[in-house]
Amino acid sequence: MKLWKKLLAFGLLALPAMLSAQWALYYSSGPPHTLLDAPGGGWVIASAGNIFKLSPAGEVVWGQRHSCEKAWLAPDGGIVAAVYPGSVATLFKLSAAGSVLWEKTYTLASTLLDVICPTPDGGALIAGLLNSDLFICRCSAEGEIVWQGSYGTSDIDRATAAAPTSDGGVIVLGSCSPDVWPTPRDLWILKLTSTGDVEWQKRVGGAADDGGEAVFQTADGGYLIAGQSASFDTDGQSQFWLLKLSAAGTVQRQLTLDYSGSSHIRPAADGSFIASFISSPSGPPRVVVVMAAGDGTIIREKPYSSGLYSVSGTAVLPTDDGGCLLSMTGGSSSDDGHADSHLLKILPSGEIEWQKVYGSRCSPDAVYLFDRAGDGGYVLAGATSSWGNWRDAGTLTFMWVMRTASDGSIGPNYPFVRLAAGSPLDEVSTWIEVAAPVTDTAAVPQSAGLVAEAANIDFTPWGPTEFPALGKPTCTLKVGASILGTTTPAVGSHVYATGTQVQISATPSAKYEFMGWIGNIQIYRPSATIVMDGDKDICANYNYVGEGIEKKLKEMGCFIATAAYADPSHPDVEILRQFRDRYLMKSRLGRDFVRLYYRYSPPVAKFVAKYPFLRAVSRAALYPVVAICDLLLKSGTQY
């Protein structure tokens, strides 16, 4: 075979692998907090209950079930994860293949360990509060304690952020809070050597509360600090505060910008820094992107209309072309106040290259983690309630992950990806030069006593497996059963082509009123149109409003849950019944509890049933109980 034919045949065979595939998945692992570009391709994702690796095609390569609050990549391709805050911190390391390499716990009485960050060698910095002093510890790549110490002034001192420095040392941000209210707190900055000794230390603060949230080392060896200051606003409101320090700790520049809230600041590849803020002047809400140079000067400050009815969150990712990917999360309209995420790809000029809205209507969804897919596309991750177990709807307890094309699209059968209508606004300038007083402090390192011990973590490996995939040609709508009214579509399962608009309606029986649709949608009117963008599970919720509540309760069995829902066939009530029959009635202690419950619950149930407010409060209080019972019933766990 001629060479050109061989090359052509090889190209045709390799074409499917070369073409990027877009996909969208969801999984009941809790909202993700970490998205890492994994060595060898794919992504490592961590949530409160799981840490796992996805392949470029969206398949689970490996997974471990265990809680963590933060995770990062080690130089050898492994993953280090941390569990904190509290008086006990835990670190564990997984290999690139997901196996457990080591696990450590760190314990010290009277501490609050609430700052953990990675070091270049694969170790970690653990910081927080010890009694009334700032505490910090450096751990090796194997989790062993290298050094530790406490540092204090005459005030209550607490670490708020830390970062390793290029000379092997540490830069720590602390908070100095005099224990005499209403004396304001100040920012405390310590530069420590590679052995934990103090190289220099500064206290910076004005007449009101000032604090630091993030610190970065700049190309000139100095530091850029982002935080909040209330010392320079005429109304005493907190503002974004940016400080540039030299390598020796001299404060070279201080700026405030007229935005409050967390800074969301990130470094870019060119040495600049980028942050996004929610700004709500008169008129529709908007989000502002601010870019700062390493010397603390503002390069660009650009506002964007959100195209949303309200904005509750924002995040930003610098892109390789000098632009950024900006996320705004909020209600898409006054008719559907549930959160969606509006993503904009912004060019270096500040113009919008493309924009999309991600989210199913009538339920909250959020996208706040981003990564590049390597083919010009993006991987997006966040929290959703639009699909999965209906009980978790509205609480954003599911994770969803998407791989998009370079323009943010996914492909056919993804109606939850929609056109957006944001736009850049006129340039504004809200930053001013300020000068909070700077003083030297004289804290001396003191011995601490943090102990590192081998942990015994109960990991549960899982995978390879599949997440439920969105984008299928058809979707199933499950309508919950109730004897207290009728629904359209009728109770049962119904299959529709993806993208179909389905009219739903609920009609209560006599002496009942409609309370709202619950499940993968949250609508408080009896009739609405929903879009089938994935499998959904919904239920019409009714409330008894007739006379003779005592008689009705007797018919229903006098359960407080039944009174709260006023619906003996409500799925939550059925779960509690099943739990009673499967667990409580099979032990003497359980039977005694049920007997006492039946004896003393009727008066409480009567009282709850009379007041809609108490019924609503009771439903909220029962939610965690029902969730635990549901979990035990599904798992078959015995106790």
CATH at 534: 2.60.40
Q: Which domain holds residue 369?
A: 268-430
At 159, the pLDDT band (50, 70, 90 cuts) reads very high
Of the residues 522, 546, 570, the one at which a domain ends: 546
Provide the 10 A C-beta neighbour count for residue 462.
15
273 and 401 belong to one structural domain: yes
553 and 500 belong to one structural domain: no
* DSSP 3-state of 79: strand
Q: What is the domain count for the chain?
A: 3
Mean pLDDT of 391-404: 73
278 and 425 belong to one structural domain: yes
So what's the pLDDT on residue 347? 95
CB burial readout 472-498, b (16+ within 10 A) else e: eeebebbbbebebbebebeeeeeebeb
Distance, in Å, from the CA atom of 311 to the CA atom of 304, rounded to the nearest integer, reads 12
273 and 421 belong to one structural domain: yes
Distance, in Å, from the CA atom of 615 to the CA atom of 624, rounded to the nearest integer, reads 16
Which range among 183-187, 243-247, 398-402 has the greatest average pLDDT? 243-247
552 and 532 belong to one structural domain: no
Distance, in Å, from the CA atom of 544 to the CA atom of 555, rounded to the nearest integer, reads 13
* Residue 577 phi, psi dihedral angles, 5° rounding: -60, -45
325 in a structural domain? yes
211 in a structural domain? no
Each residue of 447-485: pLDDT tens digit? 899 999 998 888 888 878 888 999 999 999 999 866 678
Q: Is the pLDDT of residue 166 over 90?
A: yes
Of the residues 400, 430, 460, the one at which a domain ends: 430
At 36, the pLDDT band (50, 70, 90 cuts) reads very high
406 and 341 belong to one structural domain: yes
Give, in order, the Cα–Cα distances in Å from 62 to each of 24, 94, 399, 457, 563. 18, 11, 17, 18, 45
Each residue of 176-227: pLDDT tens digit? 887 655 678 999 999 999 999 999 999 999 989 999 999 999 999 999 999 9
15 in a structural domain? no
Strands (E), 143-185: 145-151, 156-164, 170-177
Peptide bond into 415 cis (omega under 30): no
HEC string of 361-414 equals CCCCEEEEEEEECCCCCEEEEEEECCCCCHHHCCCCCEEEEEEECCCCCCCCCC
At 85, the pLDDT band (50, 70, 90 cuts) reads confident
Distance, in Å, from the CA atom of 534 to the CA atom of 519, rounded to the nearest integer, reads 13
At 263, the pLDDT band (50, 70, 90 cuts) reads low
**346 vs 235, which has greater pLDDT?**
346
313 and 414 belong to one structural domain: yes
447 in a structural domain? no
565 and 637 belong to one structural domain: yes
So what's the pLDDT on residue 303? 92
pTM, whole model, 2 decimals? Answer: 0.81
DSSP calls for 203-259 = EE--SS-EEEEEEEE-TTS-EEEEEEE-SS-TT---EEEEEEE-TT--EEEEEEES-
Tokens of 282: 């008169």
606 and 510 belong to one structural domain: no
Cα dihedral value 405, 410, 411, 415, nearest 10: -150
255 in a structural domain? no
286 in a structural domain? yes
At 568, the pLDDT band (50, 70, 90 cuts) reads low
Each residue of 578-591: pLDDT tens digit? 777 667 765 667 76
Of the residues 546, 572, 595, the one at which a domain ends: 546
So what's the pLDDT on residue 259? 85
Which range among 11-15, 258-262, 337-341, 605-609 has the greatest average pLDDT? 337-341
Q: What is the CA radius of gyration of the chain?
A: 28
511 and 570 belong to one structural domain: no
443 in a structural domain? no
Among 392-401, 547-556, 599-608, 618-627, the least confident range? 547-556
Q: Is the pLDDT of residue 7 over 70?
A: no
So what's the pLDDT on residue 298? 93
Among 64-68, 336-340, 439-443, the least confident range? 336-340
- What residues contact residue 598 under an 8 Å CB cut-off, 6+ apart? 558
560 and 540 belong to one structural domain: no
Q: Residue type at 78?
A: G
At 639, the pLDDT band (50, 70, 90 cuts) reads very low
535 in a structural domain? yes
413 and 383 belong to one structural domain: yes
